[in-house]
Structure 1
Amino acid sequence: MMCSRKIKISVMLFLVLIPIFTALPHNHNLSKRSNFFDLECKGIFNKTMFFRLDRICEDCYQLFRETSIHRLCKKDCFDSKWFGECLKVLLIPPEEITNLQHFLRVVNGSPITFNMSPVQT
């Protein structure tokens, strides 16, 4: 009797969880995180730093829904003018930009060159 009850509970949980998992959005190529090596980053892999930089490009993509922006933002391991433009449109504060520049130096292994014109006030 106890075994039969456990089986019924297991089956019920299974039936409840299946629709939840199938309702989750399916990953497509853009939702997969770019790999440190795929972007040809030549610095030190620091998971926290890398994923924060990657998040900037993800947020920029979510804002415009343009695949080319997503790709260009990550170009040269986040060392492009497009990354700087994403920082501007996402209104990233100057203090955080300083941190992100440090992150870029770590993951790229060299000083950053993205062009970011001063924010107009």
Structure 2
Amino acid sequence: MHLSSVQLACALLTLALAAAGAPPAAAPHHVARRSFFNLQCKGVYDAAIFARLDRICDDCYNLFREAQLYTLCRQDCFTTEYFKGCVEVLQEQDQLELFKTYIKQLHGADPGI
């Protein structure tokens, strides 16, 4: 049995769509957890807290489109002045104390920002 190129393309597309519809096997969790350690976080990992802080840096990057800013914002487990600057630029200063609590949990020490 030979498949025509159209049939083969349809079969491959069907397989690709089926694979795309399958839930990922915890890939985002592993990526975030690895990122947690790469950022020199030494505290307790919490996926929701990490995602919230990471979103600050992501939003800041989307505003300025500077890849280095994203890296500096996340550096040393969100303890740099760049993170604080991003919080201010994004007008989330009212959440800064909450963010400090989050950072303290992830960082394992007082963030000092």
- TM norm structure 2: 0.70
Q: Is 1:88 paired with 2:88? A: yes
Mapped to 2, the partners of 1:35 and 1:109 lie a distance apart of 16
What code does the residue aligned with 1:103 have? Answer: Y
Structure-2 residue corresponding to 1:60? 60
Q: CA deviation at 1:51?
A: 0.8
Q: Show the counterpart of 1:3.
A: none
Corresponding residue for residue 37 of structure 1: 37
* 1:1-121 correspondence runs (5 A): 14=14, 17=17, 35-94=35-94, 96-114=95-113
Report the CA distance between 1:112 and its aligned residue. Answer: 1.1
Q: Counterparts of 1:111 and 1:47 in 2: how far apart (Å)?
A: 19
- Provide the aligned C-alpha RMSD in A: 2.5
What are structure 2's unaligned runs of at least 5 residues? 1-9, 21-30
Q: Which runs of 5+ in 1 are unaligned?
A: 1-9, 22-31, 115-121
Query: Secondary structure of the equivalent of 2:82?
Result: helix
| 1:14 to partner: Cα distance | 2.9
Runs ≥4 in structure 1, deviation > 3 angstroms? none
| 1:101 CA displacement | 0.9
State the Cα deviation string for residues 35-94 of structure 1 (Å, max 9, x = none).
101111011001111110111000000000001100100111100000000000000041
TM-score between the two structures when normalised by the length of structure 1: 0.66
